[in-house]
Structure 1
Amino acid sequence: MALVELAKFSSGAEAAIVHGRLQADGIESVCFDTGMNIAESVGIMIPVRLMVDEDDLEAARAVIREAEAR
């Protein structure tokens, strides 16, 4: 199993929403750098990275495309 980056988000809340949507479709994911994103209010922005198994990457992208189309 190798993790690959699915997407980057400017807030942990956005990443958590997509993470939940992926879980609902049976796709495991993990958010990286959520603790680093805490400094948004002082102008320091480290994006939250949503990672998935490389075998699930295309399915995860399809879930995101479908959600964006709604």
Structure 2
Amino acid sequence: MALVELGRFNRFEAHIVVGRLESEGIGAVSFDSEMSLGEGSAFLIPVRVMVDDDDIAAARRILDDAR
């Protein structure tokens, strides 16, 4: 399993994206979300949403459909 970056979002959007993907059966994790809190810049540091490389195409479709 190799994680790849699906996209970068603000802290709140990243958690919504992770939840949406998980509801579709795609494992996802957010990286750097706590870093933005530690520095007091919750909206300035983008949070990376990562998925398994085997799931990247399906995850992109889900995000595209949601837009």
TM-score (structure 2 length as normaliser): 0.89
> Gaps (5+ residues) in structure 2?
none
In the alignment of these two chains, the number of paired residues is 65
Q: Cα distance, 1:45 vs. partner? A: 2.5
Runs of 4+ displaced beyond 3 Å:
none
Name the SS for the 1:40 alignment partner: coil
What is the CA–CA distance in structure 2 between the aligned matches of 1:8 and 1:50, rounded to whole Å?
A: 6
Residue 2 of structure 1 corresponds to which residue in structure 2? 2
* Percent identity between the two aligned chains: 51
What is the CA–CA distance in structure 2 between the aligned matches of 1:15 and 1:47, rounded to whole Å?
A: 9
Structure of larger gyration radius: 1
Alignment of 1:1-70 (within 5 A): 1-10=1-10, 12-38=11-37, 39-40=40-41, 45-68=44-67
What is the CA–CA distance in structure 2 between the aligned matches of 1:59 and 1:5, rounded to whole Å?
A: 13
What is the CA–CA distance in structure 2 between the aligned matches of 1:14 and 1:64, rounded to whole Å?
A: 12
TM-score (structure 1 length as normaliser): 0.85
- Give the CA RMSD over aligned residues: 1.5
